[in-house]
Amino acid sequence: MTAPVIHGEYLSKRYRRGLIVDPGLRHALEKFVRSPLATLRRPKAEMFWALKDVSLDVHEGEVLGLIGRNGAGKTTLLKILSRITRPTEGWAEIHGRVGSLLEVGTGFHPELTGRENTFLSGAILGMSKAEIARKFDEIVAFAELEKFIDTPVKHYSSGMYVRLAFAVAAHLEPEILLVDEVLAVGDINFQKKCLGRMGDVARAGRTVVLVSHQLNQIRRLCQRVLWIDDGRVRQDGPTHEVVSAYESAMSRSLSAAAGDSHNAQHRGSSKASFISWEIAEPRSDNPYVLTEIAPTAVKFVLRLAEPIHNGHHGVALFTADRQIVWGWAADGLELEAGDIELTSTFPMLPLRPGPYQWQVSIWEDEELLDMWDCTPEMTIATEVHQHRLDEWNGIMNLPSRFTAKALQNRVPERTRTP
Amino acid sequence: MASLTASPQSAPLTPRPSASATVRIEPPRSFFELRLREVWAYRELLYFFVWRDVKIRYKQTAIGVLWVILQPVLNMLVFTLFFGRLAKLPSDGLPYPVFYFAALIPWTYFATSLTSTTNVVVESQNLITKVYFPRLILPISSVLSSLVDFAIGFVVLAIFCFAYGILPTLTALWLPVLLLLALFTALGVGLWLSALNALYRDVRYVIPFIISFWMFASPVAYASSLVPARWRWLYGLNPMAGVIDGFRWAITGRGHAPGLLLLASASAVVLVLLGGVFFFNRMETSIADRV
């Protein structure tokens, strides 16, 4: 493996809480007049760490995603790496030309024309004049603004403005690209185009660090993900693992916030209780994570103190927000005392990646012996076979095949074969 | 702060095709760095900032240029009327319009530069929080873009002199030096004020007072010969005194060279400028967190 192009150690950033707005010169003077010595001492403002001891290595050609809640410190980390702000502690070294995209349209001025803004914004983002001149036609074509390039951008619609701004940014070709949530702009078609361009950048072997809340974007573009929580690295690893762990943590905290305590419903009787569950097939490192759309077996272990006659076994699968996905019951079970494996097999579980929960129950005649909301939750972390935009993703994650062919002796018509 | 110099001690272990620059990111440490080399590395962006300022200022075509001329001309008329015709202040033997206009051109340059330099950091906060570049190029671009106004005013001044039959002499060769002195004064003081302005927004309200006070502390409305000779050196600590006196002398070739005055001014400017760069660089580390 090559040496990292970004190497950071214990990067930390401390901010004063709430004191973004300065009280003003008058206040400072007044304080100085009242107690001249106190002003020399450090003010005891409430400090907090926006980022604490974050170490990271990013290798050449790697696309690293940064995820985390709002205010977790992702943008602070990006700002430190792009040198907009300096760390309070720690250090980093970056080898190569860095381009950072923290907003779309950095440096645009409304009075200037599209052409002038292209040069200005390009220069601010780090392109040389010659480089912008060379790519100018390509940028204008990408933005689809050939006719309006000599119009002041104040006359542009917001869509045109964003298209030009992104076109400039998209043609930035640094060795290392730092991007903050800028893809969530423009109409869907333009977003697609931008994502395609981002993919090209990544495939061209450039190093990218990307902050996004669109987890599908992260899944599509990144090989590795850093999950930042409360200013610290919570998890660092392959995309599907970290994103899934993040999703289940988010949904857990959501349901916890909603006062939903369905996890505490496990009340085994003296006669029978469920003690564990796992994904028996396909096998992976983690028995609670499903990584393949393939024949799947889920195994529940039931401990019986006494034999059961005429038993019923219920199995149900729920989404994180308690929508039932599937349910089934097996009747007329005759079970010996001891530990019993109850296994359900499926040709596949083609569900949208994310957290799910199994619920199992055991009954004798009409009497409920045990019902268990299986913990830990099941995480589905399979490859995504859906639209690249989150809003076009449904609960099913089905691989599909598409064909278009002309029918004989008819007006050509499109057909869709699932 | 990270320097753009390729540092040999952190050379990559494996050869990389285009690992041209290594940047080290650290907490702010050393107090005394000028970091002018980095400004040089970003000179193209400096050019673009100046280009943008000039473009925007003259976007309203004829009106924009007209204002640049009108402001000193109106000032000159007012000064000629009140200080000259009514108060009958001495003008070292020069016609009043030339006497005042020769002072107002460098003074107006200084005043606009100082104002725009003071405000440039706050006005660019959107850029500062979104993209990195050496912040020092912002105030530098301000004093440079004001030079265009100066050039236009200077042409008008030349026409004035010609109309009064005052032709350039060899002393005019001193003009670039004097202009440079005015530029460094505006930059030096502007660096202090723009960094302070980022911390305390009140500074922008103080600026008009500073400028009008400073104007009366400089020989704009009167001749420096009014100042008693034994206080002349102290007066010279105001760099604009030397600049304005020098301008009158260099343009008209009359009067005496402001030798000692200019020397005192130049040394004062060097101190203010160096201090300004240190202070600005020191504040720069936290500007993005505070604007």
Residues A199 and A308 in one domain: no
Residues A226 and A97 in one domain: yes
**What does the buried/exposed string (b/e) look like for A33-55 if buried means 16 or more CB atoms within 10 Å of the residue's CB?**
eeeeeeeeeeeeeeeebbbbebe
Give the gap in angstroms from C-alpha A1 to the nearest C-alpha of chain B. 9
Counted across chains A and B, CB pairs separated by less than 8 A come out at 129
Residues A290 and A208 in one domain: no
In this complex, do B48 and A123 lie within 8 Å of one another by their Cβ atoms?
A: yes
Give the gap in angstroms from C-alpha A144 to the nearest C-alpha of chain B. 24
How far apart CA B255 and CA B278 sit, in angstroms, is 38
Count CB atoms within 10 A of the CB of residue B144: 19
**Residue B45 included in any domain:** no
Contacts of A111 in chain B (CB under 8 A): 55-56, 59
Count of the separate structural domains present in chain B: 1
**Residue B184 included in any domain:** yes
**Residue A403 included in any domain:** no
Residues A15 and A155 in one domain: yes
Q: Cβ(B111)–Cβ(B146) under 8 Å? A: no
The pLDDT assigned to A245 comes to 86
B3 Cβ under 8 Å from any chain A Cβ: no
**Residue B147 included in any domain:** yes
CATH label of the domain that carries residue A177: 3.40.50.300
Place of tokens 């923290």: A102
How far apart CA B140 and CA B130 sit, in angstroms, is 20
Give the gap in angstroms from C-alpha A243 to the nearest C-alpha of chain B. 27
**Residue B81 included in any domain:** yes
Distances in whole angstroms, Cα of residue A274 to Cα of each of A327, A397, B223: 18, 30, 101
Query: Range of B174's domain?
Result: 61-290
List of E strands, A73-194: 89-95, 98-101, 176-180
pLDDT band at A260 (very low <50, low <70, confident <90, very high): very low
Nearest to A24 among B25, B44, B200 (CB): B200
Contacts of B137 in chain A (CB under 8 A): none
**Residue A62 included in any domain:** yes
Q: Which of A54, A86, A178 to mutate to test the interface with B (most CBs of B within 10 A)?
A: A86
Half-sphere exposure of A193 (CA within 13 A, CB side): 18
Check pLDDT > 70 for residue A210: yes
In this complex, do A25 and B56 lie within 8 Å of one another by their Cβ atoms?
A: no
Residues A191 and A290 in one domain: no
Residues A75 and A167 in one domain: yes
**Residue B82 included in any domain:** yes
**Residue B46 included in any domain:** no
A-contacting residues in B 167-186 (Cβ below 8 Å): none
CATH label of the domain that carries residue A301: 2.70.50.60
Nearest to B132 among A26, A82, A175 (CB): A82
Contacts of B283 in chain A (CB under 8 A): none
End of a domain among A222, A249, A276? A249
In this complex, do A81 and B25 lie within 8 Å of one another by their Cβ atoms?
A: yes
Coil, strand or helix at B161: helix
Residues A228 and A274 in one domain: no
Q: What tens-digit pLDDT sequence spans chain B (291 residues)? A: 333 333 333 333 333 344 457 788 877 765 556 677 888 889 999 999 999 998 888 776 667 678 788 888 888 888 888 887 787 777 777 888 888 888 999 999 999 999 999 999 988 888 888 888 989 999 999 999 999 989 999 998 988 888 888 887 888 888 999 999 999 999 999 999 998 888 888 888 899 999 999 998 888 888 877 878 777 777 778 889 888 988 888 888 877 777 777 888 888 899 999 999 988 888 877 777 765
| Residues present in chain A in total | 418
**Residue A240 included in any domain:** yes
Count of the separate structural domains present in chain A: 2
A86: nearest CA in chain B?
B27
Query: Range of A329's domain?
Result: 264-380
**Residue B49 included in any domain:** no
Residues A212 and A291 in one domain: no
Half-sphere exposure of B119 (CA within 13 A, CB side): 11
